[in-house]
Structure 1
């Protein structure tokens, strides 16, 4: 209905421009016959404008009735969603102005009616403002007819939200996904993106993770392995090494990332196994020294048989460490890298 009103308002503007042009032509001409013709055209124009205004008025009356019919449902839905985010918040109807309803907010049972004294800018936290906004959004969608024809774009829906509110948002998006044609969720929060993706993992609804990457020339979309992105520490580095063995690496930068993971993985396995013995400021070189100086019946003596292998892997990875001034100039042999990664994976099994 609002689209119809917008179209008719555009038509009114066109009629007004047309009337102005007719009047200008009438004022310029000295021909009485022409003046009579222009006067008739202006009368016709007035009738068309009147008919258009009446159409707008009829549609607005229908819109008011429709608005009154759905506003109670809308208010109910908003409050239902608000319960998930903050049960102490509630909306109450205050006044009706044509097609618009004015609401007041109730906080802990106390209506905020005087906005000059109780400004929502200061009465609500950023999280509660976001909760109100997203409750309006989901409520409006739920009452939208033919929702299955819509593509919905949601931009950073969890700003200022704590874990429970993030979880509620994920559940709402998941429920909505079965009712619409497509949902696109934009977010900077990797953990939220991972949890949302995980929600869809056992669903029949397909879900793709895409991230924006950049190079020296432009930005571009790329499929995103979000599960790997949200791994941390040693598990992330182990995944990088394992995926290199399975799929290889396409660029020199990717290969350098593989090499970067070698030493942290070995150090991490030793730290886990000898928690409290290996200090936080001790690295692979220190661990090698502990093995070298170990004696029978000490913790690290059992690794003497593989010490040379650990030293060789350490020396190889040091060549490509960022502390090496020739870090980016050192060429990478793919066959050699694959051999060292395999040695690393075999070594951690022995540790």
Structure 2
């Protein structure tokens, strides 16, 4: 529903930058010329998206473009529709507008109903979708034939690519594959495997190199190892003794001799007591089991490291790398990419440098087995370099081990593969790749789109025919019955008959006749019979207005989506008598109870009150006011207005016209002049002095220049004079007032009607 006019600017008199809130049922009162029709045009425009109703109402002599912003609640939260001077940002298709535009487009223009009116009415009755179906049946057939020719033209070159492997439908259905190039490469490798299965079966797998990391790590630990401080001092004294008194073999001789001493205190050679000899105690420490174990560990580690870093080991590793390199070339041709050993190119240099460095460290250790031997910075760099390259070799071994699993699997596959099967799979993969080559993909997309369009068109054709048949057979019958119900309820002396769809001229239109006194009357007058009855010379203005509104009401009543519609009614009671005005009010109240929202615009305050009283809450009343020369919209306290003397008198006159019994005829006659005076004061604020009466108003209107605003009342002077002459005799001091018998009821009703028509602008 429409919640608020945020702004309407530069649309005829509208320059409202502050809107007003709308309710589910909203009555808008405004005098003629205040912008009611412009507002309904704005709502018609936002419904259709056509900017014309707004652009043709651009404020005269304004350089600014029309602008509008409306706030709606369309069932999914509030949303704004904005007109930027040229177009709406979005439409609200569920708006239905009854106004003079509806009448002139769908019912009649002036006193003529032409074929275009009936074509538009056909669209209105059936709805745009059903009419489009009727008009498109032949177009759909032509479109299907055109699609078939285009499809055949595309299928020929596509089918030629398939070689009988796939149907065109299967080829079109192939899914894109981001890994297709890799899959083709892998499948080509499988084909090569099948073609070279014997070579693959006999080809060698990859080997891993034996690495000396553990030996080097152990060597560094041994080099850094030492005994406690006492053992170090004993070693020093023994070394000094050997150097001073023995030859280089002395150490071995002493180690053997200490074994003979065992746990005895006497020397096995001279028999002397050795208990007090500190040197013998040193011998015991140096040549103890701990010392021997330490020495053995050093010797063992040195030997193992020498074996691990032997030239033969280096040559073996280099051989593995070289062999793997040769095998890498072979297996790469079969889709297995083994790791490269290029990053190991300086292995020999680093290896030999590390062997030299470790030899120097062990030479230092041999000279003093108890002292920890730590590498210098340069030596550490040599050792780090060999450990780094050995770590890369370890990673290389791991990669080779993983690749070797693929090699073993491929060798096994080589014994099982079927060349014809894998070649067929390769051909299919290549078709998948070709399917999404830009040129072929474009052809396939065009073909898919054409087929979808054809299928959609065929479905649309069937649906259109089915729906159109059902619509024209059922809807027109219901519509005519509903329309005639409303015409009868309005007291019309005619009805509608013969409602049907006609394709005369190639486009569908609604054909119907007026049924008057049992005789069907054509809408258009035959040229050969200029005096025959027809729409132009049979229906009064009131009957024509009633027909237009009844056509609109019948469509709403049969609209299954009415509960979602916003219904806008602009002066629906124009040219209607009191009974039809009352029926119009009843129908508006009925629509308000069923539609999403009803908005009634009127220049007739009495009609506004009549509608308001029949509406149920939530309801609201707005008024089109004036700010300078601009129209603004504001809240209207219609309840208070209903209670005013002006509206009380208007109600009294309306009751007289409709024949309400028991009215005070003198009160009715006395109400005429004050109603006209109040109406003129409201329409022309400040134009008349407070002490002026209707006779003074008439004289002032007679004397204004043609350019003055009051000059617009000069064509109505005859009505003003007649009402004044009739009613002024009822405003004497009471002594000379004529009795009720001096004025007939018919005369009183006539002048009451003339008074109401004057204030309504009729």
- Equivalent residues of 2:495, 2:516 under 8 A apart: yes
Please give the alpha-carbon distance, in whole angstroms, between the structure 1 residues aligned to 2:441 and 2:618.
65
Q: Alignment partner for residue 487 of structure 2, among 69, 77, 82? A: 82
Structure 1 CA distance for aligned equivalents of residues 486 and 597 of structure 2: 21
Residue 193 (str. 1) matches residue 608 (str. 2): yes
- Once residues 629 and 735 of structure 2 are traced to their aligned partners in structure 1, the CA distance between those partners, rounded to angstroms, is 48
Q: Which residue of 2 aligns with 1:138?
A: 553
Partner Cα separation in structure 2 for residue 133 and residue 158 of structure 1: 11
1:219 matches 2:645: no
Quote the Cα distance in structure 2 between the aligned partners of 1:217 and 1:121.
39
The structure-2 alpha-carbon separation of the partners of 1:52 and 1:121, relative to structure 1 and needing over 3 Å to count, comes to: farther
Name the SS of the counterpart of 1:230 in structure 2: helix
> Which of 469, 473, 482 is equivalent to 1:65?
469
Q: 1:274 aligns with which of 708, 725, 733?
A: 733
Q: 1:127 to 1:58 in 2, by over 3 A?
A: same
Q: What is the DSSP-based 3-state SS (H/G/I as helix, E as strand, rest coil) of the residue aligned with 1:128? A: helix
> Could you say if the C-alpha distance between residues 115 and 262 of structure 1 is closer, same or farther in structure 2, counting changes exceeding 3 Å?
closer
In the alignment, which residue of structure 1 is the partner of 2:593?
178
Select which of 643, 647, 672 maps to 1:230.
Answer: 647
Q: Based on CA coordinates, which of the two structures has the bigger radius of gyration?
A: 2
Q: How does 1:96-175 map to 2 (within 5 A)?
A: 96-97=501-502, 101-113=510-522, 115-117=524-526, 118-175=533-590
Shift in Å at residue 169 of structure 1? 0.9
Q: CA RMSD in A?
A: 4.2
For residues 135-170 of structure 1, give each alpha carbon's deviation from its aligned partner in whole angstroms, at most 9, with x where no partner exists.
111111111114223221111111111111111111
Please tell me whether the aligned partners of residues 156 and 185 of structure 1 are also in contact (alpha carbons under 8 angstroms). Answer: yes
Shift of 1:78: 0.5
- Structure 1 unaligned spans of 5+: 23-32, 240-252, 265-270, 279-351
Counterparts of 1:27-66 in structure 2, within 5 Å, are 42-66=446-470
Comparing 184-193 with 47-56, greater Cα deviation is found at 47-56
Aligned position for 1:210: 622
Mapped to 2, the partners of 1:5 and 1:165 lie a distance apart of 32
Q: Separation in 1 of the partners of 2:523 and 2:572?
A: 29
Moved more, 185-194 or 72-81: 185-194
1:178–1:129: structure 2 CA closer, same or farther, 3 Å change rule?
same
Deviations 1:69-100 (A, max 9, x none): 22211111100001022442111125434876
Question: 1:62 and 1:273, CA in 2 relative to 1: closer, same or farther beyond 3 A?
Answer: same
Give the total of aligned pairs: 233
How far has the Cα of 1:208 moved from its partner? 2.3
Do the aligned partners of residues 44 and 97 (structure 1) sit closer, same or farther apart at CA in structure 2, a change above 3 Å counting?
farther
Q: Deviations over 1:108-140 (max 9, x none)?
A: 211013723344233322211111111111111
Residue 130 of structure 1: SS of its match in structure 2? helix
Unaligned runs of 5+ in 2: 1-126, 151-436, 527-532, 650-670, 694-729, 738-762
SS in 2 for 1:157: coil
CA deviation map 1:236-281 (0-9, x unaligned): 8xx9xxxxxxxxxxxxx9xx98xx76998xxxxxx97932469xxx
CA contact (8 A) 2:522 2:534 kept: no
Give the Cα–Cα distance (whole angstroms) in 1 for the partners of residues 499 and 594 of structure 2.
32
Cα shift readout 1:169-191 (whole Å, capped 9, x = no counterpart): 11111222222222111111222
Which has the bigger relative contact order, CA under 8 A and spacing at least 6? 2
2:628 alignment partner, SS class: coil
Aligned to 2:661: none
The question of whether the paired residues in 2 share the 8 Å contact of 1:93 and 1:101 is answered with no
- CA–CA separation in structure 2 for the residues paired with 1:175 and 1:184: 13
- Deviates most, 175-184 or 89-98: 89-98
Closer, same or farther in 2 for the Cα pair 1:88/1:273, shift >3 Å? closer
Instruction: Give the C-alpha shift of residue 45 in structure 1.
Output: 4.5
